[in-house]
Every structure is written in C-alpha cells, then in structure tokens.
Amino acid sequence: MKFVMVCVAALLFVAPGLAHAESCSKSRDYLLTEASDLPQRPSIYQKLFRDCMDTLQLSNVQDAFILKVGAIAVIPKRDTVAATASTLAQFCERFPRGTLHFIKRKDRALAARMSQAVLMTAINPTPCIRIKGGG
C-alpha cells in the first residue's frame, strides 16, 4: 500500500510538468507536419520550441505553445496587470528577441484545440527588443 501511495504522489508531482511540455510539443509538431505556408523556416520553429519549453518555467505561466506567426503564446495563471507585467519582464530578460502573446480568458476555448491555437494571431504584438529599447 505504501508503494502505491508513493507512486501516486510521484505521478501528481510529475504530471503537471508533462501536461505543459505537451502543448509546446503538440504545437511544434502540428506546425511542422500539418500547417501549410509557414511564414518562418522550420529551424525557427525548432528554436521557438526550446523557448516555449523554457517559458513554461516562468512563475505565472500555466501553459504555453508556439504560434504560426513566430511568437510564443501563454495562458497565465494569474490574469492581472502586475502578473502580466512581471511575466513579460521575465520573458524579455530570458528571450530579448522574442515575442510573447498572452491568451485572454475569452480566447482560451480556441487554445484548447491545437489546430486553432497555432493559428491565433498575436494582435499588435510588441517584440521584447522594442520593450527593452532596442527597436
């Protein structure tokens, strides 16, 4: 019985991380195998995949995936101005040439289907290079 409890505890500890990684993987795989007319080279999406995986480590990120337009989209844990600003600052510090798109609460249903999620557009995105004063 003790062995079962340890296994369940381990699964509960590891499972949330696996779910997050799956969205990055699913979006990359969908883009590289099923999407057409990609605006970026495949190598860009491979780099975005690595950035997506790292983005999952930010404290306010519940989930993340790659957008066809070449940005990373996140579903935040807390949807407040302060939390969003903090997440954006952390992201831009880690990825100075990246672009982050926050999924609004009303658009989360679209993000549930990968075929729709990757096609979401980052409306008026501000690249980190512009936020940090480089562009």
pLDDT digit string (tens) for the chain, length 135 residues: 554 333 333 343 444 444 444 799 999 998 998 877 888 888 999 999 999 999 999 999 999 999 998 899 999 999 899 999 999 999 999 999 999 999 888 888 877 778 778 877 766 667 888 887 765
Q: How far is CA 122 from CA 16, 28, 29, 103, 119, in A?
A: 26, 17, 20, 9, 9
Residue spans of the domains in the chain: they are: 2-131
Whole-angstrom Cα distance, residue 97 to residue 86?
17
Question: Sheet harboring 72-76: ordered strands across?
Answer: 61-66, 72-76, 100-102
Q: What per-residue confidence (pLDDT) applies to 80?
A: 92
Tokens 């993000």 map to which residue? 111
